[in-house]
Structure 1
Amino acid sequence: MMGSSPLATCPISWRLARPFLLLTAVLVLLILVQSSPLISFALSHSSPHELARRSQILTKRAYTRAKPGPLPRFHARTQSDRYAENTKPVLVRNATIWTAADGGNEVLTGNLLMHHGLIKDVGDVPLSRLQELELENMGLEVVDADGAWVTPGIVDLHSHIGVGSVPNLNGAHDTNSHNALILPWLRSIDGLNTHDASYQLAMAGGVTTAQILPGSANNIGGQAFIMKFRPTAERSPSSMLLEPPYTLNGTHFNHSLAPRWRHMKYVISLPQSFAFIFYSSPLHLTQQTYVRENPSVRYGITRLDSGWNFRAAYDHARKFRDAQDAFCTKAESGSWDDLAGKSFPEDLQWESLIDVLRGRVKLAVHCYEAVDLDEIVRLTNEFEFPAASFHHAGEAYLVPELLKKTWGGTPTIPLFASNFRQKREAYRGSEFAPRVLSEHGVNVVIKSDHPVVNSRYLLHEAAQAHYCGLDSALALLSVTYAPATAIGMGHMIGMLKSVYIDGIPQLSQIDHYVPGKTTPPRMPNFDAEKAATVAYEGFPPPEPRSVKRVLFMDVSGLYMRSGGSKGNVEIVDLEGGTIAPGLTSFGAPLRLVEINHEPSTNDGRVRDPLDGDLPPVLGGKVMRAQDGLMFGSRNLLLAYRGGVTTAITAPSGAFLQGISTAFSPGAAHVRVENASILDDVALHVAVSMKASASVSTQIAALRNMLFGEGEDKVLRRVRKVCAFLPFLLGETTLVVDVENADIMATLLRLKDEFESHSGRRLRLTFSGGTEAHLLVHEIAKAGEYNARNMRFEVGWSFLTSNGAINHTMALALTTINLERALGVQREMPQDLVAYRGGDVFEFEAKVVDVISETLRRTDLFV
């Protein structure tokens, strides 16, 4: 089914509603008169105005008891409320249709008809239906799917698209408020940007609907709204909403209508932006004192503070709710004299939290660790309100029985597929969590937290969850019907819907659909890894088992960097799998960063020479990544288990970053033989519009580094640290971290300048290169490269390239091409990785062995 019209969501004005309410009052009071002589006597002395007032009170009372849900006969509609006039009916022919029905197991072959914004038929479209359309003379748009899959539109349960906008300009980022910790009265709709460039990107990935949440800076960040990405003729945020609550524009609306679901964001952990705030009460904004500019202050917000913030807020809301109930009880009993001159107790600030206590709000609760999960479960039981979903919930798989104690029922758990360990509270997260939770009967959703993960790749995230053991039907449900039901919208979205929104195509038609597999990929067997993850509470031993001899059986393919082979024998059945070169990682700061948001686990950032003097003790030296490497970390060994046998890492920093190094992720420490494969790989700089210095200053500094010109004080300081100049010229690659096409063009011009002036070739590589496609011919002519990273990411490009990238090219992207782009001149070690059950780029393949020429050993992961 399709969504409802924004016109239908607007509350009826008080002026227009008064005649209706007065009539309702008369009818209600006539019934009361007939049933109660006492009330009949009392009403005989009441004015029409008093009768209307009493009717309004009784109607509000009925509304407070009503539960949200679709209107009666909702599914009998013949036209969607969101139908756009003059939209042609669409017939999708020859499709393989996954409907999301029958627990995600129903697959139909045939046709799908959409008309008036509704799905009219799925599977078999009667001829009579097409004849009716012909009589309507609207024209029929026919799309031949050629056997391709058609699924419901993807639903993102956790997104900040529109409030954390792209481009991220000043005044276009409204994710968080920093005014208090408890802010249930704030609303994401008030900051929703209709010009976010991410909408089109998300739709390109099949995402049609998302829950737009406030950020994580507060315990209660405010109310969320459900949004459809389809542009509307009105071009307003309100017109993009799906079934917004009638309270959107205030408390004056037709209370006789069934309520619609409301949505709210909680954070049961440390609010991210409030590390240092003193307060006397979370309920009184004027008493807040901000001291974030003084990070040396020892006192800050802790989980103890957060716990009290919630309890104090709920106690306040509970008192309001009880006052409302007491008021209505008197009205129902006919005690109107006690209510003379009194109004129904309301407060615009707290009415949304009162609705939480009445069970009319779908709560999205940000929580990671068991301590956070325990707190929210206890809170729901203390104040008796349901929670729809626990988001992130990295340790939820360790406490599934605790989740089931949530008041009102077990919440849905929206998770990342693989984005773990970026901070301490997420460090025990596991790729096996979706499988473990589903085995305990807990509904799982895969979400993006856009822009943390680009929502365009949400289906790819679901594929990773399936790879790690989540049933194929549940994996598809996790981004369609499961999130739709978690937000109370299962009657409208998530089932029987393609990548059309409201029956309107949002992507340009392509000439040919590439038929895919008719069955989902076979999942590798991760039973042992899953069990170990739970047994070790997220920290299973990542070290491999080294053996002397291995015999591989049933090998379907062998790919080598060059000629030669590696002897070695313990029998390993690859079940038709392949042996391929080990992958090379670049882009992730492996071995310099373990937990991104924990400084104690990181090498730190290189000081920016354009932002102040470097300490004299450095003696003009450029930082080298090899000096800050940390071996044996969990992230490093997990990369090794994923088939990465070489990692190239550069120091982190602005402008002049330093010199990268190549090393083996499988080495235990730096003194292991060949732990360092290549000490100095390339010199890395960054040129960005976000830097403290202007782009022109950065380019001038780079020119000075190359030509030795200029007497500007800042440039002299830059030259002072450029002892690398002799080996830079034609011998070491200059890697520039750059995203903007104009900056890339300027760098290419600088390259031409240098080469004309010196007669020597400058080896230049663009890293990042978001807009490199705009200069593809110029970059190719200059002989440069665009470096990125890894197995599933490269596999995604390979499988979705429609044949433009073949297997050999894809493998080269993350091995020899990447190494050449970074200036690696020497022949790299012949490290090989064995994949059981499939090819390196397939979701059926599992790494079971690394044959490391670098470390001179064979490591088994079985």
Structure 2
Amino acid sequence: MGGTVLTATGQRIENGMVLIRDGRIERVGPAAEPPAGYEVVDARGRWVTPGVIDAHSHMGVYPSPGVQAHSDGNEITDPNTAQVWAEHSVWPQDPNFNLARAGGVTTVHILPGSANLFGGRGVTLRNVPARTTQAMKFPGAPYTLKMACGENPKRVYGGRNRSPSTRMGNVAGYRAAWINAADYGRKWDAYRRKSEDGEKADPPKRDLQLDTLLGVLKGDILVQNHCYRADEMAQMIDVADEFGYRITSFHHTTEGYKIADVLAKRDICAATWANWWGGKLEQFDGIEANAALVHAAGGCAIIHSDDPDLIQRLNQEAAEALAAGRDAGLQISEAEAIGWITANPAKALGVLKETGTLEPGKRADVVLWDKNPFSVYARAERVWIDGGVAYDRHDPAFQAKSDFEIGLGGLR
């Protein structure tokens, strides 16, 4: 109570209060005398935001220590591996989950890597210490499908005289897969019609790869598309239109600013960084103001990590993008920009009704910062997930260690 509250709905409340009851947000507004029986946290001089959400992480599937025995994020065996699910590789003991929580991260979206045209299903997790991946899964969150454009798939397969070896080979691979998925769907529809009419019919043989693709065509699985260049994003939109599915987010989106109006019109989120550029040619035109320009065009801008270190500092990455946008003359407030790491990723992951903003009825995923979260000096002091303290910088009892770390301690 008494802190500066950024709700991620565009609202900034000085001397505000967030009331939590039974794991949900009960009230948000100016500070007032709380009802009897509530613990009061003094937030004067501090800032309060929704829990940070990372829309693109490989924690658990590329855990620490980064050795081959733990490298489970890329099924590099075929350009189409839509049949694999990231959750089947997640290692809950990855120490990076705890480090991310210390950076205010309460929800993470774990994706397979980008070696393939279709990398497999992604999964959204609550960033809570747990023994199993099942215990971390975000209840009711839709599955996602990781797709990849550009250099990665053509580099991985082209060197082996296999398709794809060019960008046109990439697109041919997408289209062939969607044709097969549509045909698979028609076979299941025909079977169901016959069954409903009382006719004898055998169901088609279940295909795990096509199950995932068909889920996209039905709108049940959300497409998260690794794509850097503006022209390739436009190509992927054409493919989506041809087969009747929608792209929820482009990831990395280095050239999102070049087609910011198109992304806004199509309601496709742009998940990006502020300063990752030049690592390969398709990254070359990256600019720090990318997210700010997408936002200014009315689009859904997201700052993501794709990195176990950056996930601990997503607030700083958002601050860089905000500063660059302001230097470019864009008038964007901190109350708006906080949505780049909270509300917008929640939207892209299909969980905005549950988290991502400080609004009554939503899960009480809350971060108390010791300073303005857009300051390079800001640190998360306390983190609540579902209303329970998940991290406290000043209390070792709320600084979880993984079983792996405890085991290392025993060897010293």
TM-score (norm 2): 0.82
Give yes or no for the alignment of 1:468 onto 2:324: yes
Question: 1:320·1:345 contact (CA, 8 Å) conserved in 2?
Answer: no
Q: How far apart, in 1, do the equivalents of 2:40 and 2:24 lie? A: 16
Q: 1:196 to 1:273 in 2, by over 3 A?
A: farther
Q: Which residue of 1 is the match for residue 4 of structure 2?
A: 96
Query: What residue number does 1:277 align with?
Result: 160
Correspondence 1:803-814 to 2 at 5 A: none
RMSD value over aligned CA atoms? 2.3
CA drift at 1:390: 0.6
**Candidates 273, 281, 304, aligned match of 1:447:** 304
Rounded Cα–Cα distance in structure 2 between residues aligned with 1:404 and 1:315: 28
Residue 237 of structure 1: which of 133, 140, 149 is its match?
A: 133
Deviation, 1:126, is 7.9
Contact map agreement 1:445 1:483 (CA 8 A) in 2: yes
C-alpha contact 1:403 1:411 (8 A) present in aligned 2: yes
Task: Tell me the matched-pair count.
Answer: 365
How far did 1:195 drift? Answer: 1.4
Partner of 1:674: none
1:304 is aligned to 2:168: yes
Paired residue for 2:190? Answer: 326
- Say if 2:22 is the partner of 1:116: yes
Aligned to 2:179: 315
State the SS of the aligned residue for 1:505.
Answer: strand
Q: CA deviation at 1:329?
A: 4.0
The answer to whether the Cα contact below 8 Å between 1:96 and 1:108 also exists between their aligned partners in 2 is yes
**Partner of residue 429, structure 1:** 286
Give a deviation string over 1:470-517, Cα, whole Å, max 9, x none. 613332110000110111100111111412112122223549xxxxxx
Look up the match of 1:47: none
1:393 alignment partner AA:
T
Counterpart contact for 2:15–2:31, Cα < 8 Å: no
Write the letter of the residue equivalent to 2:366: S
Separation in structure 2 between the aligned mates of residue 105 and residue 393 of structure 1, nearest angstrom? 27
More off after superposition, 432-441 vs 478-487: 432-441
In the alignment, which residue of structure 1 is the partner of 2:389? 505
Rounded to whole Å, the distance in 2 between the matches of 1:358 and 1:130 is 47
Query: Counterpart of 2:349?
Result: 487
Secondary structure at the aligned position of 2:236 is classed as helix
- What residue identity is the alignment partner of 2:113? G
SS in 2 for 1:353: helix
| Partner of residue 261 from structure 1, selected from 142, 150, 154 | 142
| Whole-angstrom CA distance in 2 between matches of 1:111 and 1:446 | 27
Match of 2:375 in 1: none
Corresponding residue for 1:708?
none
SS in 2 for 1:196: coil
Report the counterpart of residue 236 of structure 2 in structure 1. 376
CA distance, structure 1, for counterparts of residue 104 and residue 299 of structure 2: 25
Which residue is equivalent to 2:227?
Answer: 367
Q: Secondary structure at the match of 1:120?
A: strand
- Give the share of equivalent positions with the same residue, in percent: 32
The answer (yes or no) to whether the contact 1:484–1:494 under 8 Å persists in 2 is: yes
Measured in 2, the distance between the counterparts of 1:193 and 1:364 equals 22
2: CA distance, partners of 1:478 / 1:404 = 15
Q: Give the superposition deviation at 1:130.
A: 3.6
Structure 1 gaps, min length 5? 1-92, 134-139, 245-259, 281-299, 512-862
Residues 380 and 469 (structure 1), Cα distance of their counterparts in 2 relative to 1, 3 Å cut: same
Query: 1:186-206 deviations in whole A, cap 9, x for unaligned?
Result: 111111011111112211111
Q: CA deviation at 1:141?
A: 4.1
Deviation at 1:230, TM superposition (A): 1.4
Whole-angstrom CA distance in 2 between matches of 1:145 and 1:274: 54
Corresponding residue for residue 515 of structure 1? none
Cα distance change of structure 1 residues 143 and 359 upon mapping to structure 2, 3 Å threshold: same
CA contact (8 A) 1:324 1:345 kept: no
> Residues 323 and 345 of structure 1 are in contact (CA less than 8 Å); yes or no, is this contact kept in structure 2?
no
TM-superposition CA deviations, 1:674-693 (whole Å, max 9, x none)? xxxxxxxxxxxxxxxxxxxx
Q: Find the aligned partners of 2:3 and 2:300 in 1 and give their Cα distance.
A: 28
- Amino acid in structure 2 at the alignment position of 1:184: A
Once residues 272 and 60 of structure 2 are traced to their aligned partners in structure 1, the CA distance between those partners, rounded to angstroms, is 21
The 3-state SS of whatever aligns with 2:388 is coil
Q: Aligned partners of 1:509 and 1:220: how far apart in 2?
A: 40
Query: 1:122 deviation in Å?
Result: 2.4
Q: CA deviation at 1:350?
A: 1.3
1:125-183 per-position Cα deviation (integer Å, ceiling 9, x unaligned): 887x744x4xxxxxx54321123111000011111111111221332121111111101
Whole-angstrom CA distance in 1 between matches of 2:209 and 2:314: 35
Shift of 1:381: 0.7
Structure 1 residue 220: deviation in Å? 0.6
Q: What SS does the corresponding residue of 2:171 show, helix, strand or coil? A: helix
DSSP-derived class of the 2:121 partner? strand
1:126–1:431 Cα change, 3 Å = closer
Change in 2 beyond 3 A, CA 1:509/1:455: closer
Cα offset for 1:114?
A: 2.4
The Cα shift of 1:316 comes to 0.4
Ranked by relative contact order (alpha carbons within 8 Å, sequence separation 6 or more), the top structure is: 2
Deviation at 1:118, TM superposition (A): 1.6
Partners of 2:3 and 2:272 in 1: CA distance: 30
Match of 1:212 in 2: 110
- What letter corresponds to residue 310 of structure 2 in structure 1? N
CA distance change for structure 1 residues 464 and 315 in 2, over 3 Å: closer, same or farther? Answer: same
Aligned-partner residue type, residue 236 of structure 1: T
Question: Aligned-pair distance for 1:236?
Answer: 0.7
**C-alpha distance 121-344 of structure 1, shift in aligned 2 (>3 A):** farther
Is 1:390 the counterpart of 2:254? The answer is: no
Cα offset for 1:463? 0.3
Q: Separation in 2 of the partners of 1:311 and 1:371?
A: 17
Contact kept, 8 Å, 1:377 with 1:403, in 2: the verdict is no
The 8 Å contact of residues 160 and 212 in structure 1, kept in 2 or not, is answered as yes
CA-to-aligned-CA distance 1:221-276 (integer Å, 9 cap, x gap): 100000111113xx1111011025xxxxxxxxxxxxxxx52211100113254342
**C-alpha contact (below 8 Å) 1:176/1:215 kept by paired residues:** yes
- 1-side partners of 2:94 and 2:284: how far apart? 32
Structure 1 pair 403–327 and aligned structure 2 pair: CA distance change class (3 A): same
Give the one of 62, 86, 91 matched to 1:193.
Answer: 91
2:57–2:111 Cα contact (<8 Å) kept: yes
Contact 1:95 1:150 in 2 (8 A): yes
Q: Output the amino acid matched with 2:29.
A: G
Q: 2:139 is matched by which residue type in structure 1?
A: E
Specify the SS of the correspondent of 1:194: coil
| Partner Cα separation in structure 1 for residue 107 and residue 160 of structure 2 | 36
Paired residues of 1:113 and 1:125 also in contact (CA < 8 A)? no
Q: How far apart are the structure 2 equivalents of 1:301 and 1:231?
A: 42
Q: Could you tell me whether the CA contact under 8 Å between 1:108 and 1:123 is conserved in 2? A: no
Q: Secondary structure at the match of 2:69?
A: coil
Do structure 1's residue 174 and structure 2's residue 58 form an aligned pair?
Answer: no
Paired residues of 1:321 and 1:354 also in contact (CA < 8 A)? yes
Deviations 1:662-706 (A, max 9, x none): xxxxxxxxxxxxxxxxxxxxxxxxxxxxxxxxxxxxxxxxxxxxx
Distance, in Å, in 2 between the alignment partners of 1:183 and 1:275 is: 17
Q: How far apart are the structure 2 equivalents of 1:356 and 1:426? A: 28
Shift of 1:106: 4.1
